[in-house]
Amino acid sequence: MTNDMSTTISKVIFNDHTELQNYYNYIRSSKDADTAIRWRNQFVWELARYLVGEEIVVYPKLAKYLGDSGQEMAEKNRKEHQVIKEHLYKLQSMKPDNPAFVPTLDAVMSRLQKHIEEEENLDYPQLERKMGAERSHKLAKTFERTKILVPTYSHPSVPNGPRFETIVGLFATPIDTLRDLLRKWP
């Protein structure tokens, strides 16, 4: 992450959205199982971190800056995240030769795509208008730092409130990091 003041939370989040879409496309276009597994691992790693990072860092700011409507957005988004996490949990251990692999991957992306469209068209534009460029820049830096410290696998049974994610993340992250060492990467 740069110190460029033009880096806003929207730019960082939207960049993550693009990366996730690219990883999904790489999985779908993989010519062999090994390549698909490597891109699946990258997709799971990035999406798990993204979801928890948003819940810990961004969603409290929706409530702070947008009041009751922001709190409603955050609650709705947490519910959407929960469904995505449940599908991602299934996907993260599936092999490409499993008949459910592609349908599960598509289910994750379908839910994620709907979520992304709402965030890019509604949530983040409203948040950016209310919080201003300097606060948005600081939030972007916090989000990027937080993603370094959160779990890298989906843990759908973990409550997704900011305090719970933080506490459980402290325990899950070292275990996930060890598991990452055994993964194949693109």
Q: What is the pTM of this model?
A: 0.85
pLDDT tens, residue by residue, 27-86: 999 999 999 999 999 999 999 999 989 998 999 999 999 999 999 999 999 999 999 999
Rounded CA gap, 163 and 30, in Å? 38
The packing angle between helices 101-118 and 9-29, to 10°, is: 160
- Going from N- to C-terminal start, the domains of the chain cover 9-181
pLDDT tens, residue by residue, 7-34: 999 999 999 999 999 999 999 999 999 9
Confidence of residue 87 (pLDDT cuts 50, 70, 90): very high
pLDDT of residue 149: 79
Which parts of the chain fold into alpha helices (H)? 9-29, 33-53, 59-91, 101-118, 124-149, 162-181
Least confident segment among 51-65, 106-120, 138-152, 153-167: 153-167
